[in-house]
Structure 1
Amino acid sequence: MPKLSRSDWYDLSRDTNWTFRYVAEEEVFPEELSGSHRVSSEAWTRWDEPYKISYREYVHNQVTKDTATYSLKNAISRSKLFDQLDPGWKSVILAHYGAITMPEYLAAIAEARMARFGRSAAWRNTATFGALDEMRHGQIQAFFPYGLLDKEPRADWALKAFHTNNWVVLAVRHLFDDMFVANDAVSIALQLTFTFETGFTNLQFLGMAADAMDVGDLEFGALISSIQTDEARHSQQGEPTIKVLIDNGHKEWGQFLIDQMFWRSWRAFAVLTGLSMDYYTPLESRRMSFKEFIEDWVVKQFAEQFRDFGLDYPWYWDQFIDELTWYHHAVHLGVWNYRPTLWWNPDAGVSADERQWLEEKYPGWNSTFGRNWDVIQDNLRSGNIAATFPQTLPITCNLCQIPIVRAAGVMVGALGSAAPLRHTHNGRTYLFCSEPCKWIFTQRPERFAGHKSLIDRFLAGDIAPPDLAGALAYMGLSEAEQGRDATDYAWAFGPAAE
């Protein structure tokens, strides 16, 4: 019997739809879970994925990737490779596993929601592969750190983190619950696959894989590469979704969903990736600065898709561009200062050579952020280490849940008040780090108003005793797990910065 060519059967096999006889279509695809009723069912049939794959091809590809990746891990596990890695890079690994492993499982729920409630059969087919992808990503990123436990016990935060109330986890969980779990299929397609994955994580994983290879971390590099190739495929579900919305007169709704999640993704990306690229990655392995990475990969490439689909830049675009020069540097100062509240050892990354690199990449860095590190360095050199630790908790944003950092000085045009932005809803005052965070909250306050930030919990008596020690216990951090300077302050006793 002759074998049919792929083009003869692919569309039929992945595009099986039917007319419901015993229930209304609105019952099969309730708006709360589908989010698709702005567009007719007939219009959704024109949803067409750009990356096409059959189940046979999918399984073959995944088996090949898993075989190669797990084989490499088994070989490397018998070596001393991890012990020889730069201390800052070890922090990149620990921070990544704790913040990302469990969200990969949550992303499987998001993909499964599209696989069930997407209005196009082609979309449901693609999302089914996406759900399998995310389950694989969760499993492999739980297994790899498990192999590090005898060398770094805090690798268990890959599973432990999301079961704690650590402040970083509160921020990441707030973002991903909004994006993955408490969302309808259309919103997930635009916010997870189009905005977060296409715009940020797919690009990040490309860079992380390359950096890992440069540093000599073959295991992590192979892991990230195997994940990125999945992301490149299922992240494209957003493109046909936004096209259907725009073609049917609902550009404004699609624009709102993308604008909201672009800012939320930027906030998380700046904290997790900005610090890793500009401070934790060894100087000799830095291919580009975080600002250059965002400009080349996000601003120039992902933003092109705004124009391709007839979308506009988000209304806060100028503020986003301005923050590339200062926001993650300010957050880094706070994160290092609050190092006991982390499950990794933050690398100060401000030795004399590193400060010179930072000044080259961010003109004005020494006169702004550098002077703060001068004070920290003086305290360390005089033996006053206590002065470099926090005394209480910082105010956190009621939307992104990240400690509030606002530009009050002069750094490439950044001017303004350091005071948090305020908004009162149902008699309760909420504090925000930025105009976009406040805007996202006020557009749909019922979505966010019930959540208590870390400081809300502190003031409500949920944290006892109400001091830093009580907060550390509340976050699930034993003394052995608490972060410390990655190099044991070696940077502070090296040559002075010019």
Structure 2
Amino acid sequence: MPQLSRSDWYDLARDTNWNFRYVSEEEVFPEELSGTGRVPAEAWLKWDEPYKITYREYVHNQVTKDTTTYSLKNAVGRSKLFDQLDPGWKSVIVAHYGAIAMPEYLASIGEARMGRFGRSAAWRNTATFGVLDEVRHGQIQTFLAYGLLDKEPRGDWALKAFHTNNWIILAVRYLFDDMFVANDALSIALQLTFTLETGFTNLQFLGMAADAIDVGDLEFGSLISSIQTDEARHAQQGEPTIKVLIDNGQKEYGQFLIDHMFWRSWRIFALLTGLSMDYYTPLESRRMSFKEFIEDWVVKQFADQFRDNGLDFPWYWDEFIKELTWYHHAIHLGVWYYRPTVWWNPDAGVSEAERLWLEEKYPGWNRVFGRHWDVITENVRKGDIAATLPETLPITCNLCQLPIVRAAGVLVGAHTDATPPTHVHNGREYVFCSEPCKWIFTQRPDRFAGHQSLIDRVLSGEISPPDLGAVLQYFGLSPEEQGRDADDYAWARNGTKG
């Protein structure tokens, strides 16, 4: 029986726009949920996705990927491959599942909002596939984490983490609530698919998959690869959306949305990926430094996107570039110091060989950060582990919710102002880790002023008494779940990793 080629019927089947007789356009696409009212309705008809796929093709592709990934999981589960992985890499996996598995599922809410309130039928069609993608990503990651429970019980944080108020989760949750849970369809397209997925996570998953194969983690490598191919497809929603905005005189608004979320994405990306690449991945498996990765992939990627779409670099671009030399190193030092407060075992990553590598990749690292690790190393060698543990809580940013850190010295171009920026709103002073975080807050203070930081929760009495024991209990961390040094301090005692 003769069949039509896809190109003969695809547009007709996809473009299900019609004129409403019983309700108004405003009722069908309320601005609070759609966000598309800045552009005339007819202009959205030009929205066109570059990657076209039918449901039949979609199901075939997804079944193939799932069959491969789940089959490999079953084979690996009967082996000792996980037991043989480097302790630092195990921490990458556990941290990833806790911070990312549930947000992947929550991203289906954002895709569904575009699938219902996107102003173009082509857009809604693409987002519907995105919903299926994100549900799959949440399911497959929680299922693979569940398969680790007999070897790593903290794999259950893939489900548990977002039901706690752990300080890492507060930062991640506030970011993703802002990005796709409490957002309109237009903003989601620009902030989730254009900024986060196209600019950051799609590239991160490429790198993580390659690193996983290098360290011998075939299961995680297969998982991440199967997710990345989905991301590459549904991340395409951002570019046609920004094109429609710019073509209709709304460049400034689109630029604002992207500038806002680029900085917020960078903050979380530096925390989760910066530590993994420069400290947790075994030295022999590091293909490049985190800074080199950002410069080669993210910076160049966004440079091309900004140029091709007629956008400008964010106003804080120079500050972002400078932070590549120091920000994630400072965050890493803080996470390791506060290791009992996280659900994975932070890898110090400062053996003699690793310090040589860090100095090579970040000239001045030993002078700025190495001297702090010198003190820690001395305390470990003396057996004074208590001196390497926290007694107080860090001051956190009222926007990104991460600890306020500064470069404790001078790296190339590093920002060394010790005074964090502040802003008074409705009689209350808010404190921030950076000028971009302050700018995001002041542009929409009512959107962020109600967020309760870790310190707010202490001052209100929600965490009481204000000591580490109460904090760990509040975070939902049992003694067995609290993070420890990944190598049991072998790097300090004999200068090498365990």
| % same residue | 82
Question: Which amino acid letter does the alignment assign opposite residue 253 of structure 2?
Answer: W
Residues 81-480 of structure 1: pairs in structure 2 closer than 5 A? 81-407=81-407, 409-480=409-480
Is the Cα–Cα contact under 8 Å of residues 108 and 134 in structure 1 kept in the other structure?
A: yes
**Partners of 1:83 and 1:151 within 8 A in 2:** yes
Amino acid at match of 1:325: T
Q: How far does the alpha carbon of each residue in 1:245-292 deviate from its partner, in whole angstroms, 9 at most, with x for none?
A: 000000000000000000000000000000000000000000000000
Does structure 1 conserve the Cα–Cα contact (< 8 Å) formed by 2:353 and 2:496? Answer: no
Matched, 1:55 2:68: no
For residue 410 of structure 1, report the CA deviation from its aligned partner.
Answer: 1.1
Query: Is the CA contact 2:368–2:407 (under 8 Å) kept in the aligned structure 1?
Result: no
Residue type of the alignment partner of 2:301: Q
Residue 490 of structure 1 aligns with which residue? 490
- What letter matches 2:111 in structure 1? E
- Cα deviations by residue, 1:21-44 (Å, 9 ceiling, x for unpaired): 000000000000000000011000
Q: Find the residue that maps to 1:370 and give its secondary structure.
A: helix
| Contact 1:89–1:280 under 8 Å retained in 2 | yes
How big is the shift at 1:408? Answer: 5.2
State the AA in 2 paired with 1:265.
S
Question: Does the 8 A contact of 2:337 with 2:390 survive in 1?
Answer: yes
How far, CA to CA, are the matches of 1:476 and 1:495 in structure 2?
Answer: 34
Aligned with 1:403: secondary structure?
coil
Determine helix, strand or coil for the equivalent of 1:354.
Answer: helix
Q: Does 1:33 align with 2:64?
A: no
Aligned residue type for 2:296? D
Once residues 289 and 456 of structure 2 are traced to their aligned partners in structure 1, the CA distance between those partners, rounded to angstroms, is 35
Name the amino acid aligned to 2:421.
L
Unaligned runs of 5+ in 2: none
8 Å Cα contact 1:406/1:434 also seen in 2: no
Other structure's SS at 1:82 match? coil
**Residue identity matched to 1:279:** Y
Local SS of the residue matching 1:45: helix
Contact 1:345 1:486 (C-alpha < 8 Å) held by counterparts: yes
Instruction: For 2:61 and 2:419, locate their aligned partners in 1 and report how far apart those are by CA, in whole Å.
Output: 52
Q: CA deviation at 1:113?
A: 0.2
Q: CA deviation at 1:495?
A: 3.6
Structure 1: 5+ residue runs without aligned partners? none
2:283 partner amino acid: L
Distance 1:202 1:463 in 2: 37
- Report the residue type matching 1:251 in the other structure: K
Residue type of the partner of 2:46? Answer: R
Partner of 1:303: helix, strand, or coil? helix
Q: Distance between the aligned counterparts of 2:496 and 2:15, measured in 1?
A: 65
Query: Is contact 2:165–2:474 with CA below 8 Å preserved after alignment?
Result: yes
The 3 A distance-change label for structure 1 pair 53 and 5 is same
Q: Distance in 2 between matches of 1:395 and 1:415?
A: 18
Runs (4+) off by over 4 Å: none
Q: Check whether the contact 2:423–2:431 (CA below 8 A) recurs between aligned residues.
A: yes
Q: Following TM superposition, by how much is the alpha carbon of 1:496 offset from its aligned partner in structure 2, in angstroms?
A: 8.7
Task: Map Cα deviations across residues 309-368 of structure 1 (whole Å, 9 max, x no partner).
Answer: 110000000000000000000000000000000000000000000000000000000111
Q: 1: CA distance between counterparts of 2:408 and 2:78?
A: 51
Distance 1:59 1:16 in 2: 21
Deviation at 1:409, TM superposition (A): 2.4
For 2:146 and 2:333, how far apart are their aligned partners in 1? 30
Amino acid at match of 1:80: K
Task: Please tell me whether the aligned partners of residues 369 and 408 of structure 2 are also in contact (alpha carbons under 8 angstroms).
Answer: no
Q: Which amino acid aligns with 2:462?
A: D
CA distance in 1, matches of 2:128, 2:463: 42
Secondary structure at 1:171's aligned position in 2?
Answer: helix
Check the 8 A contact 1:198/1:235 in 2, yes or no.
Answer: yes
Structure 1 residues 96, 495: CA separation in 2 closer, same or farther (over 3 Å shift)? closer
**Does the Cα contact within 8 Å between 1:408 and 1:415 map onto a contact in 2?**
no
Residues 459-489 of structure 1, C-alpha deviations (whole Å, 9 max, x = no match): 1100022211101100000111000000000
Structure 1, residues 216-258: CA drift from partner, whole Å, max 9, x if none?
0000000000000000000010000000000000000000000
Q: CA deviation at 1:127?
A: 0.1
1:95 shift after superposition: 0.3
Q: Give TM-score, length-normalised by structure 2.
A: 0.99
